[in-house]
Every structure is written in structure tokens, then in C-alpha cells.
Structure 1
Amino acid sequence: MKSVLILGGGIAGVEAAIYYRKEGFEVELISDRNYLFIYPIAIWIPLKTIPFQKATLSLDKLAARHNFRLTIDRLISINGAEKSISLESGGLRIADHLVIATGAAKMRHEGLEHTLSICGAPEQSLLLKEKIEALIERGSGKIAFGFGGNPNDSSSVRGGPGFELFFNLHHHLSQLGIRDNYEMTFFAPMPQPGVRMGKKALSSIETMFKNNHFGTRFGKKIKRFETNSIIFEDNSVLESDLTMFIPAGDGMTLIKESDLPQNSAGFIRINNYCEIEGVEGWYAIGDASALEGPEWRAKQGHLAEIMARNAAHNSAVAYGLKSDPKKTYQEHLNIVCLMDTGNGAGFVYRNDKKVFFISLPIIGHWMKLAWGWYYKMSKMGYIPRLPGM
């Protein structure tokens, strides 16, 4: 039986493990933690809408369900020329057939330790919960949420979860009857954060900001973060008792230090079939890869899953297990987002041919909660996977 080694236990890595098994490969998945963290629904952990455990899925259970091998270890280095990897506990491993789904690092900002991120380490969602609870107990305060950019790769910006948590926190404070006691400000270095989602979505966000008296600091680069403030490039100051900030993605250090082909941000260069340039039998998918395409392209979970399935299919073709044509990821480049607000949601879709936004008051929130259940059940194979979901 043909075998494959998959690096990373996130959305992309897990999907790859499942689909490589379906293609008949023997699979080993290496992850530095024993659970899959479901980032799209982690926005509700800080507000106690769901407990932390509800946003996780055991890799042990997934491995048993789909019959792949799970190894918990930390990746230390990668060498494409020698087709080898080095693990903290497992030492040197040779891998003729490999899928890199390790995700991305984060852009470094001075004073980043003074912030918390809903897209960072899973534990930060719990720290955000503690900070929010303390601020509510205090009875008033200044709240600043934002996200950053990467000048070397615009696809690595991830602002949606920041908007979602911001709107959910507003809704939560409103339900408690104390919203007027808090200054809420959103900041980003772009003049129009969210513009990649299209004009209608941007207009809806701007309307929410205006109607709910949110402050904004847009179009100014971030100079540094301090204990209770954000300093911008013009030395203006935004005071904050709680700063939630999502840095843009950046290439991981171990990728930047490797001999793998990279773009200027340190993401792995691949062709349209997710094959790493110049390293036969090696693939890169999800946030670890360098996406080509239109300026609005974005790294999202659904695209990572498509890349994972394509890599499994293309590997089967390459190894003669099937005679179908190879599959490409470019044709699937789009933005799909159900942006939750706590009391509803907005559905965003964009590709090269169309852009639309649908407001879903009340029901949208319940649809996203239902998606979290569906995601876990379908990953475990308890219910069928719906096309496009």
C-alpha cells in the first residue's frame, strides 16, 4: 500500500488524512496537539456561548474512525533536497511522499504580548473570556479590536473573526444593559477593512458601525502595542483596556529556514495541483502554501479542504491508483463567509464572476451554530458531507 506523511492537525491536515485514506493510502498524521481546533466557531468561547471543548475534535477519535496513524510530536526542520523532516521526539524521518499542512506563523508587531487573538493559540480564546469577564465585572472600559496586514502577501489577512467577535461582544453587552458604558473601537491599517468581501458586505459593516456608535481607526499602520494602548505610525494613541488583535499570517520560521521554494512572505510555492515546485511527491496545502490569483483571494478553511482533497486525488493519479485528470485549486478560489453578529449573520460570497451579500437576521446566528455541529459530525463520518460545505 502506498503511504503518505501529513504534517499538521488543523483543518487542512485532517481533511487530507481523511481523503488520502479514501484514496487507499496508508496515512500518518503528525500534530503538535491531540485535538483539531475549529477556529470558525471559536468566536463564541470568549462570551461563553459555547465551552472550549465544543470547538475541539479529538484527533485520537478521528484517527480511529478513519483508520490513520496519529503521532503527537513537534516539527523542527524540513529538507526538500533530502526529502526529510526532523521531529523533536521522533528524530529524522525520510518522506518520499509528504503533505505540508502546518498552517502559518503570525506577523510580529512590537508589544504584541499586550494583545490577545481569537485566531491565535487556542488557549487565547480562554484568556479573552477572562479579560471580558473582568471588564464586565468592572462595569465600564475601552475596548479595541483590530487586525493587521502583510505587505508581502495580501491573502494571509484574516479579519472576519475579528468583526464577528466584535459584533458578538456588542450584542452581549447590550443584552446585559451595559453597552453604553463601553467605548468600542475597531482598527486596521487598511483604509477599508473588509473591502475584499465586496461593496454590499462593506456597506453593511459600515452601517453597523454607524448605527452602533463604534469608533474606527482605519488607514493607519500600527507602530506598537502597549499595556493599555495602541500607538499608530503618526504617534496617535488609542487607549484600550482590552485589545484583541489578529496579526496577518506569515511564513513559519522552519519553512523560511528550509530549502523549499517560497514567496516573499515565506509561504511554500506550489503549482495549480498543490505540488511543491521542484520536490516530487511533496505537496503544500492551506495556510502554509502561497496562493496565486486575484488581489481579493483569501486563505479560508473551505479552500484548505479543497486543496487537501485535490492533493489526495492528484497523489492517487500520480501513483497510478486512478486514471482521472488531476484537479486544480484555482477554479475554486472564492470567498465564502457566514459572518455572525450574535443576533443574526450576513452571508458573503465572492468569486471572479459574482459578488453578493445576504443579510440573515436571527436565523443566521442559528445557522452558524448548526454548522459547528454539522462540521464535527461530518468529520467523524456520522452524517454525509454536503457538497460545498
Structure 2
Amino acid sequence: MQKVLIIGGGIAGVEAAIYYRKEGFEVELLSDRSYVFIYPIAIWIPVKTIRFEDVAFSLDKIAARHGFKLTVDEVVAINASDKTITLKEGGVRNAPHLVIATGAGKMKHEGLEHTLSICGAPEQSILLKDKIESLIAKGSGKIAFGFGGNPNDPSAIRGGPGFELFFNLHHRLKKLGIRDNYEMTFFAPMPLPGARMGPKALSMMEMMFKRNRFATRYGKKIKRFETDGVVFEDDSRLESDLTMFIPAGDAQPFIKASDLPLNNAGFIKINAFCEIEGVEAWYAIGDAAALEGPDWKAKQGHIAEIMARNVAHNSAVNMGMKSEEKKSYQEHLNILCVMDMGDGAGFVLRNDKKALLIPLPIIGHWLKMGWGWYYKLSKMGYIPRIPGM
């Protein structure tokens, strides 16, 4: 039986492990934690809609269900020339057939320790919940949410969860009858955050911001974060009792230090079949990979899953286990999400032909909640996977 080592226990790595098993491979999944954190639904932990335990889904259960081996350890180095990886506890490992699904690191900002992120370490979602609860107990305050950019790779921006948590916090404060006691400001260094969704969606977002009395600080680079606010490049200041900030994605340090082929941002260069340039039988998927495509392209979970399914198929083709054509991820590039707002949602779609945001009052929120259950049940094989999801 052909063997494959997959590093990264996130959405991309889990999907790859499942589909490599379907193709008949012996699979070892290497993860630095014992659970997959379902980031798309983590937005509800800080506002107490769901618990941390609902979002942290045991990798042991998925591994047992699909028959792959799980190893919990941390990758500290990769050597493409020797086809080896080095683990924090397990030492040097040979990796003749490797899938890199380790996700991205984060861009560095001065004073970042004074912020919390809904897209950072899973534990930060609990710290955000505690911070919000203390602010509610105080009865008033200034709230600043934002996200950053990576000038070397605009596809590494992840602003959607910031908007979602912002809307959900607004909804919670409204339900408590204390929304008027809080100043809520969204900030970003680009002049039109969310522009990649398309002009119609951007216009609708602007209307929602005005209707809900959200302030904005757009178009100024972030100089540093302080304990009680954000300082911008022109030394103007945004005061804040709670700063939630999502740094743009950056390459993982051990990826940057490797001999892998990298783009200007340090992400791994791949072809349309997710094959790493010049390294036979090595693949990269998800946020670790450098995407090629239209200017509006974005790294999202559903694209990572498509890449994961494709590499399992392409590996089987490359090894002569099946005689079909290899599959490209590029024809599937789009922006697709249900942007939750606590009391509804907006369906966002952007591709080469259209860009839209469709309001889904009430039902949209429950559709996204349902997706969280669908993810867990489908990964366990209890229900079939819906094509395109």
C-alpha cells in the first residue's frame, strides 16, 4: 500500500487524510494539536452562542472513523532536497510522499500582544469571550475591530470573520439593550476593505454600516497597537477598550527557512495540480500554498478542501493507481461564504461572471449554524458530503 504523510490538522489536512484513504493510501496525519478547530463557526464563541467544545472537533475520532494514523507533534524544519521533515519531539523523518497543509503564519505588528484575534490561536476565542463579558459588566466602552493586509500576497487577507464577529457582538449588545453605550469602529489599512467581494456587495456593506451606526477608519497603515488603542501611520489614534485584530497571513517561519520554492510572501509555489515545483511527490494545499488566479482571489476553507481532494486524486494518478486526468484547483476559484450577523446572514459569491451579496434574514444565521453540524457529521461519514460544500 502506498504511504503518504500529511502535515497539518486543519480543514485542508483533515480533508486530504480522508480522501487519500478513499484512494487506497496508508495515511499518517501529523498535527500540532489533537483537534481540528472549525474556524468558520468560532465567531460564536466570544458572544456565547456556542461553546469552545463545539468548535474543537477531536482528530482521534476522525482518524478512527477513516482508518488513518494520527501523530501529535510540531514540525520545526523541512528539507526538500533530502525529502525530510524535523519534528519537535520525533526528530528527523523521511517523507518521500508529503502533503503540506500547515496553514499560514501571521504578519507581525508592533504591540500585537495588546490585541486578540478570532483567527489566531483557538484559545484566543475564549479570551475574547472573557474580555467581552467584562466590557458588558462595565456597561459601556469603545470597541475596535480590524484586519491587516500582506502587500506581497493580497490573497492572504482574512477579513470576513472580523466582520462576522463585529456584527454578532452588535446583535448581542442590542439584545441586552445596551448597544447605545458602546462606540463600535472597524479599521483596516486598505481604502475599501471587502472590495474583493465586488462593488454590489461592498455597497450593501456600506449601507449596513451606516444603518447600524458603525464608525470606520480605513486607508491608513497601522503603526502599532497599545493597551488602549491603535496608532496609525499619521500618528492619529483610535481609542479602544477591546481591540480584535486579524493579521494577514504570512508564511510559517519553518517554511520561510526551508529550501522549498517560495513566492515573495514565502508561500509555497505549486502548479495547478498542487504539485510543488521541482519536488516530486510533494504537494502543498490551503493557506500554505501560493495561489495563482484573478486579482480578487482569496484563501478560503472550501478552496482548501477542493485542493485536498484534488491532491489525493492526483497522487493516485501520478502513482499509476488510476488512469484518469489530473484535476486543477484553479477552475474552482471563487469567493463563497455565508456572512453571519447574529440575526441573519448575507450570502456572498464572487467569481469571474458575477459578484453578489444576498441578504438572508433570520434563516441565514441558522443555515450557517447547520453548516457547523454538517461539517462534523460529514467528516465522520454519518451523512454524505453535499457536492460543492
Q: 1:200 deviation in Å?
A: 1.9
Q: TM-score, normalization: structure 2?
A: 1.00
Q: 1:354 deviation in Å?
A: 1.7
Q: Which amino acid aligns with 1:262?
A: L
Q: What is the alpha-carbon distance in structure 2 between the residues aligned to residue 39 and residue 357 of structure 1?
A: 21
Partner of 2:103: 103
Q: How many residues align?
A: 389
Q: 1:349 deviation in Å?
A: 0.7
Partner of 1:388: 388
Partner of 1:345: 345
SS, match of residue 367 in structure 1: helix
Partner of 2:81: 81
Q: Are the counterparts in 1 of residues 201 and 355 from structure 2 also a CA contact under 8 Å?
A: no
Partner of 1:141: 141
Q: Deviations over 1:152-174 (max 9, x none)?
A: 00000000000000000000000
Structure 1: gaps of 5 or more residues: none
- Pairing 1:242-253 to 2, within 5 Å after superposition: 242-253=242-253
SS, match of residue 258 in structure 1: coil
Q: What is the alpha-carbon distance in structure 1 between the residues aligned to residue 349 and residue 226 of structure 2?
A: 37
Which one is further off, 347-356 or 4-13? 347-356
Partner of 1:310: 310
Q: 1:150 deviation in Å?
A: 0.2
Q: What is the alpha-carbon distance in structure 1 between the residues aligned to residue 353 and residue 208 of structure 2?
A: 27
Q: 1:205 deviation in Å?
A: 1.1
Q: 1:142 deviation in Å?
A: 0.2
Partner of 1:333: 333
Q: What is the alpha-carbon distance in structure 1 between the residues aligned to residue 297 and residue 338 of structure 2?
A: 17
Partner of 1:18: 18
Q: 1:293 deviation in Å?
A: 0.8
- State the identity as a percent: 75
Partner of 1:60: 60
Partner of 1:203: 203
Q: Are the counterparts in 1 of residues 84 and 93 from structure 2 also a CA contact under 8 Å?
A: yes
Q: Which amino acid aligns with 1:231?
A: V
Q: What is the alpha-carbon distance in structure 1 between the residues aligned to residue 136 and residue 383 of structure 2?
A: 40
Q: 1:356 deviation in Å?
A: 2.0
- Pairing 1:20-39 to 2, within 5 Å after superposition: 20-39=20-39
Partner of 1:288: 288
Q: What is the alpha-carbon distance in structure 2 between the residues aligned to residue 358 and residue 229 of structure 1?
A: 34
Partner of 1:364: 364
Q: 1:284 deviation in Å?
A: 0.1
Q: What is the alpha-carbon distance in structure 1 between the residues aligned to residue 371 and residue 358 of structure 2?
A: 17
Q: Deviations over 1:87-106 (max 9, x none)?
A: 11111111110000000000
Q: Which amino acid aligns with 1:51?
A: R
Q: Which amino acid aligns with 1:97?
A: H
Q: TM-score, normalization: structure 1?
A: 1.00
Q: Which amino acid aligns with 1:317?
A: V
Q: Are the counterparts in 1 of residues 162 and 245 from structure 2 also a CA contact under 8 Å?
A: yes
Q: Which amino acid aligns with 1:73?
A: D
Q: Which amino acid aligns with 1:318?
A: N
Q: Which amino acid aligns with 1:212?
A: N
Q: 1:82 deviation in Å?
A: 0.2
Q: 1:355 deviation in Å?
A: 1.6
Partner of 2:231: 231
- Pairing 1:165-204 to 2, within 5 Å after superposition: 165-204=165-204
- Pairing 1:93-132 to 2, within 5 Å after superposition: 93-132=93-132
Q: Deviations over 1:89-133 (max 9, x none)?
A: 111111110000000000000000000000000000000000000
Q: Deviations over 1:356-383 (max 9, x none)?
A: 2211011100110011001110011000
SS, match of residue 346 in structure 1: strand
Partner of 1:163: 163
Is 2:8 the partner of 1:8? yes
SS, match of residue 336 in structure 1: strand
SS, match of residue 382 in structure 2: coil
SS, match of residue 370 in structure 2: helix
RMSD, matched Cα:
0.5
SS, match of residue 230 in structure 2: strand
Q: What is the alpha-carbon distance in structure 1 between the residues aligned to residue 111 and residue 171 of structure 2?
A: 29
Q: Deviations over 1:276-326 (max 9, x none)?
A: 000000000000000011110000000000000000000000000000000
- Pairing 1:35-50 to 2, within 5 Å after superposition: 35-50=35-50
Q: What is the alpha-carbon distance in structure 1 between the residues aligned to residue 52 and residue 130 of structure 2?
A: 13
Q: What is the alpha-carbon distance in structure 1 between the residues aligned to residue 172 and residue 51 of structure 2?
A: 16
SS, match of residue 337 in structure 2: strand
Partner of 1:262: 262
Q: 1:203 deviation in Å?
A: 1.3
Q: What is the alpha-carbon distance in structure 2 between the residues aligned to residue 294 and residue 74 of structure 1?
A: 34
Q: What is the alpha-carbon distance in structure 1 between the residues aligned to residue 313 and residue 210 of structure 2?
A: 48
Q: Which amino acid aligns with 1:201?
A: A
Q: 1:30 deviation in Å?
A: 0.3
Q: Are the counterparts in 1 of residues 75 and 88 from structure 2 also a CA contact under 8 Å?
A: yes
Q: What is the alpha-carbon distance in structure 1 between the residues aligned to residue 240 and residue 227 of structure 2?
A: 8
Q: 1:201 deviation in Å?
A: 1.4
Q: 1:41 deviation in Å?
A: 0.1
Q: Which amino acid aligns with 1:211?
A: R
Q: 1:328 deviation in Å?
A: 0.2
SS, match of residue 78 in structure 1: strand
SS, match of residue 201 in structure 1: helix
Q: What is the alpha-carbon distance in structure 2 between the residues aligned to residue 278 and residue 158 of structure 1?
A: 30
